Amino acid sequence: MKPLLPALRRAESAAEIFRYRYIIALTVTLASVLELVDTSIVNVALPHMMGTLGATLDEIAWVSTGYVVANVIVLPISSWLANWFGRRNYFALSILLFTLASFLCGNATTLEGLVFWRIVQGLGGGGLISTAQATLYEIFPPKEAGTAMAIFGLGIMVGPMLGPTLGGYITDAASWPWIFYINIPIGAMALLLALTYVPDSKFGSKAEEVDAPGLLYLAISIGCLQTMLERGEKLDWWSSKEIITYAVASVTAMMLFVRQELCHPHPVVDLRILKDGQFAASLVFGFLVGSALYSVVFVFPVYVQTLIGFTAWETGLAVLPGAVASGVTMAIMGRMTAKTTLDLRIFVVMGALVFGWSMWQHSLFTTESGWDDYLWPMVLRGVGLGLVFIPLNNLALGNLPPQQLAAGSGIYNLMRQLGGSVGIAASATLFVQFQEANRGELLRHVSQFSDATLVRLAKLKAMLISHGTPELLAQTKALWLLDGMVRKQAAMLAFERLFLGFGLMLIIALPLLLLMKRGHFARRGPAADH
């Protein structure tokens, strides 16, 4: 085997970059998976952190919120940072910062320390996804662009699904610091590979000056928006002065940011690329894709764990077929779309319809559903998202010139991330509202004058007495059990409505395809002429 360090000097010419293109693809995808897994891996460990650090639920939530806020702030400026430091240096620095912060998160002994290092970890992870995607588009020739996006897309799809399962397993098998320590060897490997193989961009140009006001306005706007979405449901949205303050600050800072970027000669985010109608339409579609993906990833585990009784590990096994189906579909798409002359919009339509069909099947789940009921809906969900992901990525970035790829990738990934945040926040709020409305409707048919209710109470009371409950207490417990059954059915009906809504989300977005041109895989880069 040839040594790695000489490759560091060789991977500069177009021919050498082309030779190592698949190693580069695996490197940037590995780093992206690390970032995405850590978005959700801590969620199942939060109760353990509360006990260790002596924090309340509201306080420990900042461990998750701080990471996501820092992450979305960096996403849109990752192109500017990559040009400023050089893409290889910036990508390697991001991995180093992420890995070092992971170690310090695991070593944290106070809540303040843990939140601080999670924010640093988010700052490191924020630049990985968009930089990875721009790198792949640049180094792969047109005929292999689909394969590159399939490798990258697999990480994007699997990461959010893997986080809660992996976090639950590690927390049960070891302790919560190990959900951070596990990043260290993987991060070290990704860092070595990045320094060895990832090339600098041939199209980036360093800004002559730092747009400090633009950076500040963007950080305030995106930070306040993400914090508002993370805490809105907990604080009852617009009845809270804190939420209103976040909203006003976010809108005001965004208006100032747009004005600053359009007037500054060296903007930190080039908003002029939004003049491309296809790119602008793809941003809206990408927002809805992110909303549908992250919402389902959020809602389905809640359903199976609260109503069916699945553990975190069983939940992971239930969603695994969908992740595998998504990966296989994207691999097939990557090979097929590079050769076909079909309009890529056709695949997006097919994917949206398959995803909608899957969500319709999700809406048929009940409180008695099991493994067999979940298998094919999960597979179809993965196939649908796999059909959408690669064509939509190319439609979004296909018209942009090479020097705008990194900026476009950053904005596109930001919109997908914000779509996920909005989707999760909306899902949590709508679930509560749907459940209460359903419970009220069900209670109209549960009264002391209903024969069915009286029969059910009698059966519950008899069952309790047979298990040793005193007769006087059995009546009260029977009423309590009946109320629990009503709440459970109300929650199930709420989940069914949410699943249907997720399916309609992508179907409603299909008219946006009319604003896009006939898509095909055509990309210019150092390897394109090889």
Verify that 408 and 259 share a domain, yes or no. no
Looking at the predicted structure, is the pLDDT value of residue 373 above 60? yes
| Residues 74 and 33 placed together within one structural domain of the fold | yes
Give the residue from 267, 286, 315 where a domain finishes.
Answer: 267
- Give the model's confidence band at 364: pLDDT under 50 very low, under 70 low, under 90 confident, else very high: very high
Residues 58 and 153 in one domain: yes
**Single-letter amino acid, residue 181:** Y
Instruction: Give the pLDDT confidence of 218-276 residue by residue, as tens digits.
Output: 889 988 988 888 788 778 888 889 999 999 999 999 999 999 888 888 787 878 888 88
Nearest to 303 by CA among 434, 107, 499: 499
Question: What average pLDDT does the structure give for the chain?
Answer: 81
Whether 479 maps to a domain, the answer reads yes
pLDDT confidence of residue 415 = 87
Interacting residues of 203 by C-beta distance below 8 A, sequence separation 6+: 138, 402, 403, 405
Q: Is the pLDDT of residue 91 over 70?
A: yes
Question: Of 189, 205, 221, which residue is a domain's last?
Answer: 205
149-163, 191-205, 326-340, 448-462: the lowest-pLDDT one: 448-462
149 and 201 part of one domain: yes
pLDDT of residue 529: 43
* CATH number for the domain harbouring residue 379: 1.20.1250.20
- Phi and psi torsions of 64, nearest 5°: -85, -45
CB atoms inside a 10 Å sphere around CB 299: 23
pLDDT tens column, 277-314? 888 899 999 999 988 888 888 788 888 888 888 877 78
* Token pair belonging to 232: 């809105």
**Cβ-based burial of 129 (10 A; exposed 0-12, middle 13-18, buried ≥19):** buried
Going by C-alpha positions, the residue among 32, 96, 492 that lies closest to residue 299 is 492
Q: Specify if 115 maps to a domain.
A: yes
Shared domain check, 419 and 328: yes
**What pLDDT is attached to residue 13?**
67
**Within 13 Å of residue 243, how many CA atoms lie on the same side as its CB?**
14
Pair 147, 212 in one domain: no
Alpha helices in 108-240 (DSSP H): 111-126, 128-139, 145-173, 178-181, 183-197, 212-231
Structural domain of 292: 276-435+495-520
Asked if residue 313 belongs to a domain, the reply is: yes
Model confidence at 105, in pLDDT bands (50, 70, 90)? Answer: very high
- Which phi and psi (to 5°) does residue 55 adopt? -110, 155
Q: Does 134 score more than 50 pLDDT? A: yes
Same domain, 242 and 174: no
**DSSP string of 246-268?**
HHHHHHHHHHHHHHHHHH-SS-S
| Whether residue 38 is found in the same domain as residue 85 | yes
Alpha helices, DSSP H, located in 198-276: 212-231, 241-263
Which distant-in-sequence residues (6+ apart) come within 8 Å of 248 by Cβ? none
Domain membership of residue 529 (yes or no) is no
Residue 526 lies in a domain: no
The verdict on 239 and 359 lying in the same domain is no
Structural domain contains residue 528: no
Calpha distance 43→155 (Å, rounded)? 20
Q: Do residue 508 and residue 457 come from a single domain?
A: no
Looking at the structure, tell me whether residues 418 and 321 fall in a common domain: yes
Res. 5: pLDDT tops 70 = no
* Judgement on whether residues 441 and 429 belong to the same structural domain of the protein: no
How many Å apart are CA 244 and CA 30, to the nearest integer? Answer: 39
In the chain, the number of structural domains is: 4
Domain boundary among 267, 302, 317: 267
Residue 8: inside a domain = no
